[in-house]
């Protein structure tokens, strides 16, 4: 008798490799929207002296400032915790 093979001998239909559209979907990809990459390339490649992480204006500045505040606050919190842990306990 022998052992049964774990993998079926005939190949099954491809699930993700088909190029046919699912029934009921429109032929156009209208849900994808417009391509914004060329516009963003113009914004990021402009030579205005700003670093890349601040090119998009106010939201980028706020995210940068929040990140810096959390980083500095976390560093101070860790240093205070290390200082407290290094002190001997009073009996």
The pLDDT of residue 15: 62
Summary mean pLDDT of the chain = 81
Inform me whether the pLDDT recorded for 18 exceeds 90: no
The span from the CA of 44 to the CA of 71, in Å, is: 26
* Residue 81 confidence (pLDDT) above 80: yes
Tokens 């060329």 appear where?
38
Sort residue 12 into left (φ over 0), alpha (ψ -120 to 50) or beta: beta
Which residues, 6 or more positions from 44, have their beta carbon under 8 angstroms from its beta carbon? 52, 55
- Average pLDDT estimate for 46-56: 88
Query: What is the Cα–Cα distance from 57 to 61, expressed in whole angstroms?
Result: 6
């Amino acid at each position: 008798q022998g052992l049964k093979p774990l993998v079926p001998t005939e190949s099954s239909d491809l699930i993700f490799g088909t190029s046919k559209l699912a029934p009921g979907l429109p032929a156009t990809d209208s849900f994808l929207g417009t391509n914004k990459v060329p516009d963003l390339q113009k914004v990021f490649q402009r030579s205005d002296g700003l670093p890349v992480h601040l090119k998009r204006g106010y939201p980028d500045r706020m995210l940068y400032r929040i990140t810096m505040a959390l980083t500095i606050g976390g560093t101070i919190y860790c240093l205070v915790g290390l200082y407290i842990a290094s002190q001997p306990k009073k009996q």
